[in-house]
Structure 1
Amino acid sequence: MVKYRAWHQKYEPKERWGIFYSAGILFGEPLVEGLKRAGKNLTVDTFVQAMEGVKDFQGIGPPITFTPTNHQGGKHVFFGQVQQDGTIKRLTDWVKITK
């Protein structure tokens, strides 16, 4: 998260950092990983194959795994409280949803 906050301070210091900023990073990281793995000859098939090979990818969120039968990625949540300044006070660590 440190590298993203540094980028934010450098390029968009007036932009409010909130939950949607974090969510964008959380969802974008595995997408970028899949694009890198798919290589220069990107097609739908090479991208899907690359994503299905992602195992325990660790970005700013919990570990994410994609398989041919599971395209959800992860089943984790954390509880947090949004503060007046838009920051998030984290109340728990990542919790895996088992049902």
Structure 2
Amino acid sequence: MTGTENQTVILLVVPTGALIEFDGQNYTETKLIYMSLNKYETIQLQSKDDLTGTYIISSHPIADDGDDNDCDGRVDEEVDDGSDNDGDGRIDEDLQTV
């Protein structure tokens, strides 16, 4: 996620059954992650769990970044059609805007 405006407040709701480690703390579905980004600041969240159902609320629009999902040094182009774009056997998908 990348901030498009200064002082963008973000609330992330962790989906059921998932665990996200952020800023030295573990977050599960019983905890909410609050963060703030300024314009062009970027944060990447990773988890070994399925993050389907993650809900993000922000005070300003945020940008979704392409990621190197398979750590091969190339940015994997992500699409929202549930396809495996880079042939690594995993579905590459962006979070959808609600």
Task: Indicate the TM-score class for this superposition, using the shorter chain for normalisation.
Answer: under 0.3
Q: Structure 1 or 2: larger helix share?
A: 1
Q: Structure 1 or 2: larger strand share?
A: 2
